[in-house]
Amino acid sequence: MTDARRLPDDFLWGTSTAAHQIEGNNTNSDWWFFEHQENPYVKEPSGDACDSYHRWPEDMDLLAELGFTDYRFSIEWARIEPAPGEFSNAAIAHYRRMVEGALARGLRPMVTLHHFTTPRWFLERGGWAAAGSDELFARYLTAAEPVYATDVAHVCTINEPNMVASMATAYESVISGRPLPTTGLPAPDRATTDALIRAHHRATETVKSLAPHVKAGWSVANLVCRALPGAEDVAAAYRRPRVDVFLEAARGDDWLGVQSYTRTLIGPDGPLPVPEDAERTLTGWEYYPDALGYALRHSAATAPGVPLIVTENGLATADDARRIDYTAGALEALADAMDDGIDVRGYYHWSALDNYEWGRYAPTFGLIAVDRETFVRTPKPSAAWLGEAGRTRVLPTTA
């Protein structure tokens, strides 16, 4: 790595969050419902989360003071459309205030329309796989148009559709009692996959017809499947339904979101557990900063010509020095990919805040700690280290 790698002036430099994980009391959502069922994946409910529904100005003040120039957050369908066809003007106005609040602080907003949660009524009618889900999604984001109609350059239609499709399989296993494989990600539900791809294309068309200036894309969890020698075909077959079909669906989009945390090793019989001697993060994933470089290169090869934005990257750790080391390694891999001609337009760290990690609070991904009782926010050293690059436009290192 050369010293002082400069970021292009218009490079997006931000942090990412999701409504359900930080807002609190998202009581009308499918996830709130899951959290209150007998469910092996849920250790504790989300409750008040970070109370960011009320404290978003404080979150944005901190992020802007730290130096970030961009903020990716999601709007909550369950709040905007609490009952089928009934829209909350107050919720829409709330999210519009967030867009304006971000801009007023010098943070360019990227708005995610769907980040894992749907209204409970949508689950009850069969979720994504039920007929007409794409139409309902388009109706919701048409109603939400005042949020992004002006001043929002980037809209993310659906966050990690591949994880949503795998979660549909996991949810079915909870209901049916059918066991899931013990290693690797459950095979995505086929009907859910097809529905999400339809929904993304329809959402892109809808958003761009309502707000032609918007650059629309979606964000795919790149599993970084690394084959052991001789297992290349097994890895490709494993990756195809879990990642590649979602990357291919982004061909022709304005941008593609790359989300990368770790790698999945694949042997001749399929995915392998994390090696015994590997360092693990608080999610149990392998500490593997180089994953980002692989994810960028694979995304660029699978959706050629589509500009890439790293919409999530980070790790869950209680050791903030390790967060800095990991992120420096990931950014070095990002810079190497850019040097090799890969068109990367931005980097958003996951996450701004320690938040609800889908079933538990223990895996802390945040640059900013949040007291679970008082909601007091305390930026960690990594937050200042990473945010500063927004001001200097120089990629941070640990040197």
Binding-site ranges for ligand IFM (CB under 6 A): 18, 21, 160, 259, 312, 350, 357, 365
Give the CA radius of gyration of the chain: 20
Q: CB of 156 within 8 A of CB of 310?
A: no
CA dihedral 199, 201, 202, 207 (to 10 degrees): 110
The minimum distance between CB 182 and ligand IFM, in angstroms, equals 19
* CA pseudo-torsion sign 238, 221, 283, 119: negative
Residue 170: exposure state from Cβ atoms within 10 A (0-12, 13-18, ≥19): middle
The minimum distance between CB 320 and ligand IFM, in angstroms, equals 17
The minimum distance between CB 213 and ligand IFM, in angstroms, equals 27
The minimum distance between CB 247 and ligand IFM, in angstroms, equals 16
The pair phi, psi for residue 334, each rounded to 5°, is -65, -45
The minimum distance between CB 265 and ligand IFM, in angstroms, equals 19
Nearer to ligand IFM, 92 or 164 (CB): 164
Nearer to ligand IFM, 53 or 397 (CB): 53
Nearer to ligand IFM, 96 or 114 (CB): 114
Nearer to ligand IFM, 7 or 348 (CB): 348
Nearer to ligand IFM, 257 or 396 (CB): 257
Q: What's the gap between Cα 192 and its chain centre?
A: 18
Rounded to whole angstroms, how far apart are CA atoms 41 and 360?
A: 9
Rounded to whole angstroms, how far apart are CA atoms 178 and 217?
A: 34
User: Which tokens go with 197?
Assistant: 């791809």
The minimum distance between CB 222 and ligand IFM, in angstroms, equals 11
Q: DSSP strand E in 308-356: where?
A: 308-313, 344-350
Nearer to ligand IFM, 143 or 258 (CB): 258
The minimum distance between CB 365 and ligand IFM, in angstroms, equals 6
Q: C-alpha distances in angstroms, 120 versus 34, 77, 84, 127, 187? A: 10, 10, 10, 9, 24
The minimum distance between CB 319 and ligand IFM, in angstroms, equals 17
Q: CB of 134 within 8 A of CB of 202?
A: yes
Query: For ligand IFM, which residue has the nearest CB?
Result: 18
* Nearby residues of 275 by Cβ (< 8 Å), 6 or more positions away: 265, 286
The minimum distance between CB 82 and ligand IFM, in angstroms, equals 22
Q: What's the gap between Cα 260 and its chain centre?
A: 9
Question: If you ran DSSP here, which 8-state letter would residue 119 be given?
Answer: B
Closest CA to 350 of 314, 385, 326: 314
Question: If you ran DSSP here, which 8-state letter would residue 312 be given?
Answer: E
Nearer to ligand IFM, 348 or 350 (CB): 350
Question: If you ran DSSP here, which 8-state letter would residue 235 be given?
Answer: H
Nearer to ligand IFM, 73 or 255 (CB): 73
Nearer to ligand IFM, 211 or 282 (CB): 282
